């Protein structure tokens, strides 16, 4: 597993999405995430209109307005999110200031792990329409990324379900939470679920405490995260995709192309929080006020095709699978996966509607 070292010398696991703009790239297979960003536009407009104190000392045109998109990946999604934020801030700034007030400048930081394809990302910045200064900030968002009180708006869309690491217990054969023969908590026991939930709680607390230092008092943060409606893992609609992937890997063990040990030692470092998880963790952090929290749904319903489901999975999971099982097994794995998705397509139609994506809008309290 590749790691990213933070400024505090802590190492964080890193699993980038597929870079470039080829057929398996994240850029070309992130429509689901795109629809969530589009759906978040109204949340951003409302939060900035109602909650951002434009005329206060923190947003007054004397300093650039700092925006960070954490877990930006590659492709257009991040630019859409950033543009939505800038448009909303500009509108409020104009409405609340005289026409001869200083022009508000924007500094945008695109953050992801250092092995994200930042070259592709910066090649696709919409330079002709861009009205902000753009910079890349490489490193894990579970550590400090920015100096104290330098950000006014933090966006984090479809990224904070990636944990900082696989919980150690699930890799320990002596532990009740050992997850041999399984690759995720959604296909496993309550003990494994508990280990993931505890790791997630720890990670999200770290995430909030470092952001509290980086955001100005009164600054806002929007988190959108793929979630689950119930902690009962067997009822999680997202379990279907993991279960199919897992059954392909177990077939490949039988064929001898990968080993049982490799499967036993592989776990996906992703947790889908419930609203209750988010409520508890965010409310416990005394630095933020929870302004709004709920479920966000992409506009319209896309009936998922095999191509869509396999492409979305491959763009996100290929790198982590390659890191663990090796390049040479990837084609075989995704051919098997495509066949299983095709055989189970009907169940995806219903499960897909049940996906729950959560949002929370936080406001940094004044010190
Ligand atoms: C599914 S992509 C989402 C990209 C984009 N925000 C969107 O909505 O389309 C998740 C991104 O989060 C990044 N990520 C995951 N954990 C991270 C961490 N600890 N620090 C920084 N980036 C992280 C991944 O590398 C990946 O690029």
Residue-wise pLDDT tens digits, 295-340: 998 876 677 899 999 999 999 999 999 999 999 999 999 999 999 9
pLDDT digits (tens, 9 = 90+) for 204-229: 999 999 999 999 999 999 999 999 87
Q: Which of 224, 25, 4 is nearest to 123 (CA)?
A: 25
Distance CA 162, CA 302 (A): 24
Res 356: pLDDT: 84
Strand ranges, E, within 139-282: 151-157, 215-227
Instruction: State residue 299's pLDDT score.
Output: 74
Q: In angstroms, rounded to a whole number, what is the distance separating the alpha carbons of residues 183 and 194?
A: 15
What sign does the dihedral 277-283-286-289 (CA atoms) show? Answer: positive
Within 6 A (CB) of ligand 1 lie 12, 16-17, 30, 33, 37, 71-73, 77-78, 111-113, 116, 140-142, 157-159, 162, 316
Ligand 1 atom closest to the CA of 141, numbered from 1: 20
Determine the Cα–Cα distance for residues 199 and 115; give it in Å rounded to an integer: 23
25 touches 315 (CB < 8 A): yes
Residues of the chain with pLDDT under 70: 1-2, 5-9, 56-57, 231-237, 300-301, 351-354
**Closest C-alpha residue for ligand 1 atom 18:** 140
Using the Cα atoms of residue 225, residue 228, residue 231 and residue 234 in order, give the sign of their dihedral: negative
Write down the residue that tokens 């448009």 correspond to: 87
CATH topology of domain 3-364: Rossmann fold (3.40.50)
Pocket test for ligand 1, best of 32, 113, 227, 359 (most atoms within 8 A of CB): 113
How many whole angstroms separate alpha carbon 278 and alpha carbon 208? 11
On whether ipTM exceeds 0.85, the answer is yes
Task: Return the best residue to mutate from 30, 38, 68, 159 for the ligand 1 pocket (most ligand atoms within 8 A of CB).
Answer: 159
- Decide if 70 contacts 38 (C-beta within 8 A): no
Among 41, 44, 68, 71, name the best residue to mutate to test ligand 1's pocket (greatest count of ligand atoms within 8 A of Cβ).
71
Give pLDDT, residue 228.
Answer: 87
Taking Cα atoms as reference points, which of 367, 178, 190, 358 lies closest to residue 282? 358
State in Å: Cα 158 to ligand 1 middle. 7
CA distance 327 to 345: 27
Residue with token string 């049982």: 260
- Residue 355 has a pLDDT of 73
Q: What's the token pair of residue 148?
A: 């104290």
CA–CA dist 187, 236 (Å, integer):
9
DSSP state of 236: -
Residue nearest to atom 19 of ligand 1 (CA): 140
Per-residue pLDDT at 76: 97
**Interatomic CA distance for residues 217 and 104, integer angstroms:** 18
Q: How far is 309 from 70, CA to CA, in rounded Å?
A: 25
For the stretch 230-253, what's the b/e string if a residue is b when 16 or more beta carbons lie within 10 angstroms of its beta carbon? ebebeebbbbbbbbbbbebbeebb
Please give the distance, rounded to the nearest whole angstrom, from the Cα atom of residue 99 to the centre of ligand 1.
Answer: 38
Ligand 1 atom nearest the C-alpha of 12 is 19
* DSSP of 248-298: HHHHHHHHTSS-HHHHHT----B----HHHHHHHHHH-TTEEEEEEEEE--
Task: Report which of 59, 55, 61, 57 is spatially closest to residue 102, judged by C-alpha positions.
Answer: 61
Intra-chain end-to-end CA distance of the chain, in Å: 39
Distance 156 CA to ligand 1 centre (A): 8
Mark residue 100 as left, alpha or beta (left: phi above 0; alpha: psi -120 to 50; beta: remaining): alpha
- Separation between Cα atoms, residue 310 and residue 26, nearest integer Å: 12
- Say how many Å lie between the CA of residue 289 and the centre of ligand 1: 24
Which contiguous run of DSSP H or E holds residue 112? strand 106-112
Cβ neighbors of 367 (< 8 A, separation 6 or more) are 217
């Amino acid at each position: 597993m590749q790691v990213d070292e933070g400024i505090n010398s802590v190492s964080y696991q890193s699993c980038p999405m597929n870079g470039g703009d080829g057929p398996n790239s994240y850029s070309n297979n992130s429509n689901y995430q795109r629809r969530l960003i589009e759906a978040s536009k109204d949340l951003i407009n409302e939060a900035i209109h109602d909650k951002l104190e434009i005329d206060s000392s923190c947003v007054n045109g004397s300093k650039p307005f700092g925006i960070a998109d954490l877990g930006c990946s590659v492709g257009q999604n991040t630019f859409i999110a950033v543009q939505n934020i800038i448009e909303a801030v500009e509108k409020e700034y104009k409405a609340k200031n005289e026409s001869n007030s200083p022009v508000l400048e924007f500094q945008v930081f695109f953050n992801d792990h250092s092995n994200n394809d930042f070259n592709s990302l910066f090649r696709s910045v919409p330079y002709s329409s861009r009205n902000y200064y753009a910079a890349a900030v490489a490193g894990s968002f579970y550590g400090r990324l920015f100096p104290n009180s330098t950000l006014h708006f933090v966006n984090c869309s479809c990224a904070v379900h990636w944990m900082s690491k696989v919980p150690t217990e699930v890799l320990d054969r002596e532990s009740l939470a050992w997850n041999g023969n399984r690759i995720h908590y959604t296909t496993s026991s309550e003990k494994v679920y508990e280990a993931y939930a505890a790791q997630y709680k720890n990670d999200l607390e770290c995430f909030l405490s470092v952001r509290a230092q980086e955001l100005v008092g009164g600054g806002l943060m929007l988190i959108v995260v793929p979630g689950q409606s119930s902690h009962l893992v067997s009822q999680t609609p997202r379990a279907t995709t993991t279960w199919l992937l897992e059954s392909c890997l177990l077939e490949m063990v039988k064929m001898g192309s990968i080993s049982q040990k490799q499967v036993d030692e592989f776990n996906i470092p992703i947790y889908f929080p419930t609203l209750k998880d988010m409520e508890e963790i965010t409310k416990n952090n005394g630095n933020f006020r929870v302004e709004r929290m709920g479920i966000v749904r992409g506009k319209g319903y896309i009936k998922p095709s095999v191509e869509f489901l396999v492409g979305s999975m491959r763009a996100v999971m290929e790198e982590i699978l390659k890191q663990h099982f090796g390049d040479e097994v990837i084609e075989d794995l995704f051919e098997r996966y495509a066949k299983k998705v095709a055989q189970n397509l009907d169940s995806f139609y219903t499960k897909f509607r049940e996906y729950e994506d959560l949002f929370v809008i936080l406001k940094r309290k004044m010190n």
